[in-house]
C-alpha cells in the first residue's frame, strides 16, 4: 500500500518576509554587539530563538535605538528598497574601522511587482537562519581581539529613489583599507535572500 508524505508550507508575503528579515537583523546585531564585547555582558539577557540561545540587550537606550532602526528597515524591505545592511565597528578614539559585517539582500522582483506570496516552510527558514547565527557566534574564534574601546554604526544601503526620514543621514561606506574577508552562509524566504560576510582589519 503506497503512502504519501506531505510537508506543510507557509505562505510568505512581501511584508511577512520583511518582518522575518528585520527580526533576523534584530537578533544578529545584538549577537554581534555581545560577541564583540561592545557592551557590558550584564546588559544582555539570554533568549531562545531559532532553536538557539541568543543574547538581547536590556539597555534601554540601545534597545530603543535598535527598535527604531529595525522598524524603518522593515518598511524599506517591504518596499523592496534595501540592497544591503552593514554593521561597522570602529575604534572610538581613532575612528579607525576594525570590522564590517555585510549582509547583502536580494528581493525577488516578480514577487515584489506582482505582490505574490511565496511558499516555504517557516521551520526551514529558521533552520537556515540558525546556521547563519551559529557562524556569527563562532566568528569570535578567528576575529582579532578588539583591545581598544569601540563603537558601532548601522549602514543601510537603499535604492536612490527611497524616501529617507529627516533623522537619518548619508554616510560614507567606511571601508577597511587592509582587510581580510570571510563569507558566511545565506538564508532565503523565497521573497528576500540574505547573504553575509565579515571584513576585518589585518595588522601590518
Residue 113 pLDDT: 76
Q: Which residue would you say has higher pLDDT here, 169 or 25?
A: 25
What crossing angle do the helices spanning 60-78 and 14-35 adopt, rounded to 10°? Answer: 150
Residue 204 pLDDT: 66
Residue 6 pLDDT: 43
Question: What are the residue boundaries of the structural domains of the chain, listed by start?
Answer: 10-201
Contact yes or no for 60/67 (Cβ under 8 A): no
Give the CATH fold of the 10-201 domain. Answer: Cell Cycle, Spindle Assembly Checkpoint Protein; Chain A (3.30.900)
Please check the confidence at residue 5 and state whether its pLDDT lies above 70: no
pLDDT, the chain, mean: 91
- For residue range 72-95, list pLDDT tens digits in order: 999 999 998 999 999 999 999 999
Name the band, by pLDDT with cuts 50, 70 and 90, for residue 7: very low
Amino acid at each position: 500500500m503506497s503512502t504519501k508524505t506531505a510537508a506543510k508550507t507557509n505562505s510568505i508575503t512581501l511584508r511577512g518576509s520583511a518582518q522575518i528579515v528585520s527580526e533576523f537583523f534584530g537578533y544578529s546585531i545584538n549577537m554581534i554587539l555581545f560577541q564583540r564585547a561592545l557592551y557590558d555582558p550584564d546588559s544582555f539577557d539570554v533568549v531562545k530563538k531559532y532553536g538557539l540561545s541568543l543574547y538581547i540587550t536590556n539597555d534601554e537606550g540601545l534597545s530603543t535605538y535598535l527598535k527604531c532602526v529595525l522598524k524603518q528597515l522593515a518598511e524599506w524591505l517591504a518596499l523592496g528598497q534595501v540592497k544591503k545592511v552593514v554593521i561597522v565597528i570602529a575604534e572610538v578614539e581613532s575612528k579607525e574601522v576594525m570590522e564590517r559585517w555585510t549582509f547583502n539582500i536580494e528581493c525577488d522582483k516578480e514577487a515584489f511587482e506582482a505582490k505574490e506570496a511565496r511558499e516555504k516552510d517557516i521551520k526551514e527558514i529558521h533552520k537556515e537562519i540558525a546556521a547563519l547565527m551559529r557562524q556569527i557566534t563562532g566568528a569570535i574564534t578567528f576575529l582579532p581581539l578588539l583591545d581598544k574601546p569601540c563603537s558601532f554604526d548601522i549602514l543601510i544601503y537603499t535604492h536612490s529613489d527611497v524616501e529617507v526620514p529627516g533623522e537619518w543621514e548619508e554616510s560614507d561606506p567606511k571601508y577597511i583599507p587592509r582587510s581580510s574577508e570571510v563569507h558566511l552562509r545565506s538564508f532565503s524566504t523565497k521573497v528576500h535572500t540574505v547573504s553575509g560576510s565579515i571584513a576585518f582589519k589585518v595588522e601590518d
